[in-house]
Amino acid sequence: MARTNEGGRLAYADLLRVMAMLAVIVLHVSGGWLESLPVGTADWHALNVWDSLCRWCVPVFVMCSGMFLLDPKKALSWPSLFLRYILRMVTALLFWGTAYRLLYELVAGTLRPASLPRVLYAVILGNTETHLWYLTMTIGLYLLTPLLRAFVRGARRSDFHWFFLVYALFMLVIPLFLRLRGSQTVALYANRLYLNFTLGFPPLAFVGYYLAGYYLKTYTLGRLAEGLIYALGIAGGAFTVLGTSLLSRRAGALDVTLYS
């Protein structure tokens, strides 16, 4: 799996990043129009297909980060973590958060010399554009990276499997079940375990993908496991497209339950 190109880089990791970047663009373009169209029209169905089939982009970005940052063979000191990774994300967040708010004031005609310090202060307090959530989530993952690297160093393959099982159950299966059907009994026991609160903290909500990136880079999967993953991927895409259409028709508006 770990094929490298002439520069010594993982070729498939570079390809995944390129594909994920294109998918993010398609996702935002389709999602921006989807909410404004009547449910059930031909255009709505077309955009629903594009939106549904591109939802993997952010998890793949997270997995690509986990491939390298969680590798115990890669040296990663605390100064390097903060100066090379966290500081870069903080800088990007401050710059783009400020740029967007200044642009909106410019368009509205309210831009003044005093706008910059006021806007920068607002950004520091967390008042940024919604799509910049990825930067803050990534900062959270970077802060957890030393702990996760310690787990990776001592974990057996079976330990990963147990974590993925618990993660999938409490982050994917139970939340989806509660959104679609609702059950006071299931919700009660899920809340009493407090795993939904622990894993539900935004950076922790992506820890499963972060660890999966390292796992899939390190361990070889059998034919059966690979076939099952491909089958579930295809089924998941079809289920998202058709399920979103059905739920949206029932609600009379776009229902993003399966997108999440």
Is residue 124 assigned to a domain?
no
* Residues of the domain holding 243: 1-55+221-260
Mean pLDDT value of segment 219-239: 94
pLDDT value, residue 31:
86
Mean pLDDT value of segment 173-191: 74
Q: What is the pLDDT of residues 86-108, one digit of tens each?
A: 999 999 999 999 999 999 889 98
pLDDT level of residue 195 (50, 70, 90 thresholds): low
Is residue 205 assigned to a domain?
no
Q: Secondary structure of the chain in the HEC alphabet?
A: CCCECCCCCEHHHHHHHHHHHHHHHHHHHHHHHHCCCCCCCHHHHHHHHHHHCCCCHHHHHHHHHHHHHCCCCCCCCHHHHHHHHHHHHHHHHHHHHHHHHHHHHHHHCCCCCCHHHHHHHHHHCCCCCHHHHHHHHHHHHHHHHHHHHHHHHHCCHHHHHHHHHHHHHHHHHHHHHHHHCCCHHHHHHHHHHCHHHHHHCHHHHCHHHHHHHHHHHHCCCCHHHHHHHHHHHHHHHHHHHHHHHHHHHHHCCCCCCCCC
**pTM for the structure as a whole:** 0.86
pLDDT value, residue 35:
85
pLDDT value, residue 30:
92
Is residue 2 assigned to a domain?
yes
Could you give the number of structural domains in the chain? 1
Is residue 115 assigned to a domain?
no
Q: 87 or 190, which is more confident?
A: 87
48 pLDDT above the threshold of 70: yes
